[in-house]
Homo-oligomer: A and B are copies of this chain.
Amino acid sequence: MKEERILLAHGSGGKLSHRLISDIFVPAFKSPLLSPLNDQAIFDSPCSRMAFTTDSYVISPIFFPGGDIGKLSVCGTVNDLAMGGAKPLYLSAAFIIEEGMLISELKDVVSSMARTAEDAGVEIVTGDTKVVERGKGDRIYINTAGVGVIEDGVELTPANIRPGDKVIVSGTMGDHGMAVMARRADMQMEIPVESDCAPLNGLVEAMLASGGEVRAMRDATRGGLATILNEFASSSGTSISIVEDAVPVRESVRGACEILGFDPLYIANEGKLVAVVSSSSADVVLAAMKEHPLGKDAAIIGEVTEGPKGRVLLETPVGNKRVLDMLTGDQLPRIC
């Protein structure tokens, strides 16, 4: 039996486009805001500050251990909202599909988006589909944009970071990037590495509810932990020192990194955040994180110091200190 494939006409705006929307997208996303199929979703806006973000997802392969491009496209945007202290409310979903993609694969991706959106408590309310010719894409690229609401009093920004603050990571570093790289390299591993791809808004809510002073948060995606720490140090005009041994890394990830020649501190994560909190709040925030399933391996890994502005220092297990620079070049293309 011949499997159905995406045709250029699915992107025409005509009958096939309408069928794709009504047969695949609307039943999967089930939002009453989506159903009128106008070109825009309309919602009552809360009278407060809102956050707005966007990301495109071009990961290859589109299915990988622990996730797929659909799950990733919801988690990534939910997380970008959550990192600003926002409660994510609504997402858009825009697809650029390569002619010839199997419709069954598209359905798998879309179901995964719908499941993840439900887990994260967000609604996919508006969308778009374009189809490009074979060789002008790579099966599917997804863009999601998101809007969320920020409660009064919440203000998370690297500008708030002060010397003395503590740096916390929510769990093991490098899982997502190494899961994808191991799959690409077709590595057989004793303990397979899985992506950590997950929506972090629940964890962030728990952290904010702890009452601790959280200064800034960011999810450690492209460029990994090292890049985020550099962004924090440079935006706040501080120096950050971290202890290499304090950074949680799975044995399997460490092993895969050694074989493939990567440093886990530069590897992308999709379900981990880096937070800077006031020194006096570190324990209470850490405890709140550890009670959440996505924060059980959370750890304090270092602190903010006066030092040279924008410098990140790594204390190695043998007690040396070296500068941990921002990622240069492209270690892992199309990791998200």
Q: Which A positions have Cβ atoms within 8 angstroms of B?
A: 7-9, 11-18, 36-58, 80-81, 83-84, 86, 90, 92-96, 125-128, 130-133, 135-138, 141, 143, 145, 147-150, 157-159, 218-219, 221-223, 227, 235, 268, 326-334
Cα distance A130–B330 when bound, in Å?
12
Q: Knowing A42-B84, A50-B45, A128-B54, say if A12 contacts B333 (CB, 8 Å).
A: yes
- List chain B residues, Cβ under 8 A from A235: 36-37
Q: Which residues of B contact A159 (CB under 8 A)?
A: 36
Inter-chain contacts of A334 with B (CB < 8 A)? 11, 130, 132-133
A181-B37 Cα distance, complex, nearest whole Å: 28
A165 to B141, CA, bound (A): 41
Contact (Cβ within 8 A) B333 A131: yes
Other A-B pairs, 8, CB within 8 Å; known A36-B159, A45-B50: A12-B330, A12-B331, A13-B223, A39-B218, A42-B49, A42-B150, A54-B126, A141-B141
- How many copies of this chain sit in the oligomeric assembly? 2
Distance from A39 Cβ to chain B, minimum over Cβ atoms (Å): 4
A-B contact pairs, 26 of them (CB 8 A): A8-B333, A11-B222, A12-B329, A12-B331, A12-B332, A13-B222, A13-B227, A14-B329, A15-B327, A17-B222, A17-B223, A38-B157, A39-B83, A40-B52, A40-B81, A40-B84, A40-B148, A41-B52, A41-B53, A54-B92, A54-B93, A94-B145, A96-B141, A130-B334, A132-B141, A147-B147
Contact of B328 with A40 in the complex, beta carbons under 8 Å: no
A330 CB → nearest B CB, Å? 4
Let me know if B143 and A54 touch, CB within 8 A: yes
| A84 touching B52, Cβ below 8 Å | no
What separation, in Å, do the CA atoms of A147 and B136 have in the docked complex? 29
Q: Which residue of B lies closest to A224 (CB)?
A: B13
Nearest B residue (CB) for A333: B8
Distance in angstroms from A229 CB to nearest chain B CB is 13
Report chain B residues within 8 Å CB of A96: 56, 58, 96, 141
A66 to chain B, nearest CB (A): 20
Q: Which residues of B contact A50 (CB under 8 A)?
A: 42-45, 147
9 closest residue pairs by CB, A with B:
A13-B222, A14-B327, A145-B145, A13-B223, A54-B92, A9-B330, A47-B47, A40-B53, A12-B330
Do A56 and B145 touch (CB < 8 A)? no
Please give, as numbers and ranges, the residues of chain B lying within 8 Å of A333 by CB-CB distance.
8, 11-12, 131-133
Write out the residue numbers on chain B whose beta carbons fall within 8 Å of the beta carbon of A332.
12
Partner of A223, one of B14, B94, B126, B128: B14
